[in-house]
Chains A and B, each alone.
Chain A
Amino acid sequence: MAVITYREALNRALREEMRRDDSVFLMGEEVGEYDGAYKVSKGLLDEFGEWRVRDTPIAENGFAGLGIGAAMAGLRPIVEFMTWNFALLAYDAIVNSAAKMLYMSGGQYNVPIVFRGPGGAALQLSAQHSQVPDPWYANIPGLKVCAPATPADALGLLKSAIRDDDPVVFIESELLYNVKGEVPDEEHIVPIGVADVKREGSDVTLVCHSRMVKVCSDAAETLAEEHEVEAEIVDLRTIRPLDIDAVIASVKKTNRAVVVQEGSPYSGIGAQVVDDIQREAFDYLDAPVARVSSLDVPMHYARPVEKHILPSADAVVRAARHVCYLD
């Protein structure tokens, strides 16, 4: 097993899949000559040439739509958004065209495309550059939505996404790009729609995805060391479809749950998870399910305010103690 960064894992997935299948191509702002705004596509232009690593104009709706058309004609485009904030300009293409094409054509035109890029907050990027796009896409039938937390999952899920015959929204995180982790040397595939227990525990289930897996890991350590609480961490990895069976299995074991998401609380992914838990595991719960999320506000620029807005390991610890009736 090699230890590589999340960024390198994504690069490996792109390179391996482009070598495997010549219908796979990458397009987006700065993906070619510049090696990617976050260097995810480093070296790909040299290996694959400009028709397979296409630098686009800054016109998200246009190049996302172009990718969808190419997918309808049988190619497998990977559309990189420099960040998901900019993809709002392509929301029409993704929602009205990619997500609906197979359905409204009566099954004639599937759209095998991946839309990928970083979402969520980084460091003091303020209101327009820190948004969590998860629920905007998870709400759309016809899409699949992945949000991996580790290098191994980033590698395996991106490969699955590229091979998938449907449009996949693949949400990375700028703050995860430098995170290192073990990745298998051999072919590594993580199926879409399968959650992963990142830490086993018996007292409370922490449900999370993407960058919140690290926040929950930190919280779990504190809970174990300082509060004698063993938390089980269920990393959703895919938020549409949601592997709710994995969540329910854990809740049936621990009887308590805290649902953690980076985005704001209103209509968030956590709301869906809590609904699923109360419908399918109500009789197993020993306490109401708690939620931890960002505040219900845009992101603030000033560092202390930004920190206050984002979910923290401390908040997860407090929520876990609350559902364990330790307050």
Chain B
Amino acid sequence: MERVEQEVTTERRTREERRAADRRTVDRREVDLGGYERDQLHDMLSAMLLSRRFEEKCAQSYQMGLIGGFCHLYIGQEAVAVGGIHALRDDDYVFTAYRDHAQAIVRGIEPRAVMAELYGRVDGCSKGAGGSMHMFGRDVNFMGGHGIVGTHLPLAAGVGYAIRYRGGDQVVLCYFGDSVVNGGPFHEAFNMVAKWNLPVINVVENNSYGMGTDIERVAAVDQLVSRACAYEGMHSERIDGQDVLAMHAAVAEAAERARGAEGRPTFIEAITYRYLGHSMSDAAHGTYRTKEEVQAERKNDPIATFSDRLMEAELLAREEYDEINQAAIDAVEDAAEFAENSPHPEPSAAYDNLYADEFRGGLDRRDAWR
């Protein structure tokens, strides 16, 4: 795909200038609502609202000490997960990084199981062993929840390899954050995906910050999507990640492109924004971005933008919105209650699932004095 060359400059642009430039340079404009059924649109709105309400509840529970460890919330980025995952078939596969609650729920893991995992309880989707960063759902092909930046890209390529190996026509959707594009696994995975035509759709969720570092300060390219030029045959596209339909359309086309023996991989850059801090341990703004910047970005809220558009097109009534929102609130409250009532694992669970089969030699032989 031909792209407009950006003027090379060593000067930092203002944040507003950069966001404006980002919006100018997306490859896909407003997607026609006519291509969607009303139910499908409502399902996407419902999934985004469920994700939003779920993460708000997580923040509350975290502050009450009910959730431990690192806890990275997805608020602001919902359209990326929902648009992409709703474009998949049930037998496709999904990977993501550690900001994984929304992806897990949208893919189909019960909110109860995700919340119980956050609470570290036995009914968690990973039996309380993984926590916030390691949601897994084998029955919905949700392959994690990975905590080391970039590590899961080669894994996603491997699932793509297995699909091709068996002559299948599924695809793998792999999400990761913007900081991944500067690390080795990104290149190693992309190179193999392109060389062997693996059915992988890689999506970088460019929320501008790798933790507290502006991506512009550490990436030697202006547009992350331009990295795709190094991989022949890989389609690439830059998307407004705050537009759920743009995201949906891009991933639907990418999936179509990837399926089957002649399939080709795709790299999508989704321009998005997280409204809260990197994790629950840091403030939404302060050291690396201003309050004004966050407020300005919140005006482009993916849920509000989408629901407004549906209402204007008379595809959504105010009462319907309220019902969908209330259902999300109810589901989240139910999930939290369920999680709180789920038992803590026994200490002996320390040895659970360490090996798939019997491990000779006595695992606990060297663990005296407990």
| A interface with B by C-beta (< 8 Å) | 25, 51, 56-57, 59, 61-75, 77, 92-93, 96-97, 101-110, 112, 141-142, 144, 164-166, 191-194, 241-244, 275-276
Select which of B148, B164, B356 is within 8 A of A166 by beta carbon: B356
CB-based contact A66/B192 at 8 Å: yes
CB neighbours (8 Å) of B191 from chain A are: 57, 59, 62
CB neighbours (8 Å) of A106 from chain B are: 124-130, 136, 352-353
Q: Count of chain B residues with Cβ under 8 Å from any Cβ of A?
A: 54
Nearest to A95 among chain B residues (CB) is: B148
Q: How far is the CA of A74 from the CA of B189 in the complex (A)?
A: 19
CB-based contact A62/B154 at 8 Å: yes
19 extra interface residue pairs, beta carbon distance < 8 Å, beyond A62-B157, A69-B155, A102-B356: A59-B188, A61-B188, A65-B188, A69-B162, A73-B162, A75-B161, A93-B151, A102-B355, A105-B130, A105-B145, A105-B353, A107-B352, A108-B138, A109-B136, A166-B355, A192-B360, A193-B359, A241-B359, A244-B365
Select which of B158, B185, B355, B366 is within 8 A of A72 by beta carbon: B158
| B interface with A by C-beta (< 8 Å) | 93, 124-130, 134, 136-138, 143-148, 151-165, 184-185, 187-189, 191-192, 195, 352-357, 359-363, 365-366
Q: How far is the CA of A15 from the CA of B201 in the complex (A)?
A: 34
Q: How far is the CA of A59 from the CA of B153 in the complex (A)?
A: 13
Q: With A59-B191, A93-B154, A106-B124 as given contacts, are A51 and B129 in contact (CB-CB < 8 Å)? A: no
Query: Shortest 3 CB-CB distances between A and B: which pairs?
Result: A69-B158, A65-B154, A62-B188
Q: With A51-B165, A109-B138, A165-B357 as given contacts, are A65 and B151 in contact (CB-CB < 8 Å)? A: yes
Could you tell me the distance in whole angstroms from the C-beta of B69 to the nearest C-beta in chain A?
A: 12
Nearest to B129 among chain A residues (CB) is: A106
Select which of A65, A104, A191 is within 8 A of B189 by beta carbon: A65
Could you tell me the distance in whole angstroms from the C-beta of A71 to the nearest C-beta in chain B?
A: 7
CB neighbours (8 Å) of B165 from chain A are: 25, 51, 70, 75
Could you tell me the distance in whole angstroms from the C-beta of B155 to the nearest C-beta in chain A?
A: 4
CB neighbours (8 Å) of B147 from chain A are: 96
Interchain residue pairs with CB less than 8 A apart (21): A59-B192, A61-B154, A61-B188, A62-B187, A64-B154, A65-B185, A65-B189, A68-B155, A68-B158, A70-B165, A71-B158, A73-B162, A93-B154, A102-B356, A104-B136, A106-B124, A109-B144, A142-B355, A165-B357, A193-B359, A241-B360
Q: How far is the CA of A74 from the CA of B163 in the complex (A)?
A: 10
Could you tell me the distance in whole angstroms from the C-beta of B171 to the nearest C-beta in chain A?
A: 12
